[in-house]
């Protein structure tokens, strides 16, 4: 295979799970412009012979996602695929290499306008290789849904790509060490540079400190716009905190942060969305 077709194959392997995810969440085939379909058809006729299978696409005169450049992929799919291989093979922290089941690269749309950044994989994420799928992840998925996004439309990643190891005989999770975060941060930085989100949401103090590289108090920054290399950064509470503090007022704080995010992204906000958690919040 030439390197061009290897790149294309890699890009296709990245794109197909996303299209399948969209198909599942939308309960219909994802849409693509006629031009994109014609371009794909020229390169990959077999994709179109499989109409009715998981590969089927339908045509629309609209651009399916305003974030996908009209001229198609800007090269990021192949670059992200190469980055993913490097991240999955990372051996920079010997202690984490020894304890991890696998590296958790991140998941979602390579063209996402919205990127959520968490702390580090927990036990379930380490086992399955996907971020935010445990209890806190299920709450995050609900928040994403309430924002009228699906997990496939946005991107979710962590500051630390490996589950922090625990001392022998101890269970549970520990916070990543500053040295581990500093070692791992270049991976997230490259993901952000390639995905080019319009907004980043940092979930919890560790994510904010990891991204900004300085000590911070959540009380000072939650709900206020910060800046990460020119990208607006919204710090909010980690969903695990909300699971521990199930008061309407704390839920409302996170929701207000998400309303600010939706406004920044110029997404329509319904009256129902505006009033979530308002009734008894104090």
Residues near ligand URA, by CB under 6 A: 118-122, 125, 131-132, 134, 136-137, 158
Tell the smallest beta-carbon distance from residue 137 to ligand URA (Å): 5
The angle, 0 to 180 degrees and rounded to 10, between the axes of the packed helices 76-88 and 178-195 is 160
Nearer to ligand URA, 121 or 197 (CB): 121
Report yes or no: 205 and 119 within 8 Å, Cβ to Cβ: no
Tell the smallest beta-carbon distance from residue 117 to ligand URA (Å): 8
Nearer to ligand URA, 174 or 274 (CB): 174
Residue nearest to ligand URA as judged by C-beta position? 118
Tell the smallest beta-carbon distance from residue 42 to ligand URA (Å): 39
Dihedral sign of CA atoms 268, 272, 276, 279 in order: positive
Nearer to ligand URA, 110 or 137 (CB): 137
Nearer to ligand URA, 77 or 132 (CB): 132
Report yes or no: 37 and 64 within 8 Å, Cβ to Cβ: no
Nearer to ligand URA, 30 or 118 (CB): 118
Report yes or no: 117 and 78 within 8 Å, Cβ to Cβ: no
The angle, 0 to 180 degrees and rounded to 10, between the axes of the packed helices 248-264 and 135-146 is 50
Beta-strand (E) ranges in 29-160?
A: 31-32, 58-59, 107-108, 114-118, 155-158
Tell the smallest beta-carbon distance from residue 119 to ligand URA (Å): 3
Tell the smallest beta-carbon distance from residue 136 to ligand URA (Å): 5
């Amino acid at each position: 295979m030439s390197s061009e077709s290897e790149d294309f194959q890699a890009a296709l392997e990245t794109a197909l799970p996303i299209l399948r995810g969209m198909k599942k969440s939308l309960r219909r085939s994802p849409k693509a412009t006629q031009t994109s379909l014609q371009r794909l058809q020229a390169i990959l006729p077999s994709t179109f012979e499989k109409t009715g299978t998981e590969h089927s696409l339908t045509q629309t005169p609209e651009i399916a996602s305003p974030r996908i450049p009209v001229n198609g992929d800007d090269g990021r799919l192949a670059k992200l695929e190469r980055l993913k291989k490097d991240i999955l093979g990372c051996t920079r922290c010997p202690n984490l290499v020894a304890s991890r089941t696998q590296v958790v690269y991140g998941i979602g749309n390579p063209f996402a306008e919205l990127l959520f950044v968490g702390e580090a994989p927990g036990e379930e994420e380490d086992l399955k290789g996907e971020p935010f799928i445990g209890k806190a992840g299920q709450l995050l998925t609900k928040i994403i849904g309430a924002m009228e996004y699906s997990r496939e439309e946005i991107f979710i990643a962590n500051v630390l790509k490996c589950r922090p190891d625990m001392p022998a005989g101890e269970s549970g999770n520990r916070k990543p060490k500053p040295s581990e975060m500093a070692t791992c941060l270049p991976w997230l930085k490259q993901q952000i540079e390639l995905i080019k989100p319009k907004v980043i949401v940092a979930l919890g103090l560790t994510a904010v400190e990891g991204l900004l590289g300085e000590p911070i108090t959540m009380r000072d920054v939650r709900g206020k716009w910060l800046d990460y290399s020119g990208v607006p950064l919204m710090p909010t509470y980690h969903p695990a905190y909300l699971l521990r503090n199930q008061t309407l007022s704390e839920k409302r704080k996170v929701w207000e942060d998400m309303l600010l995010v939706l406004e920044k992204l110029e997404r329509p906000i319904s009256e129902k969305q505006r009033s979530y958690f308002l009734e008894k919040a104090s």
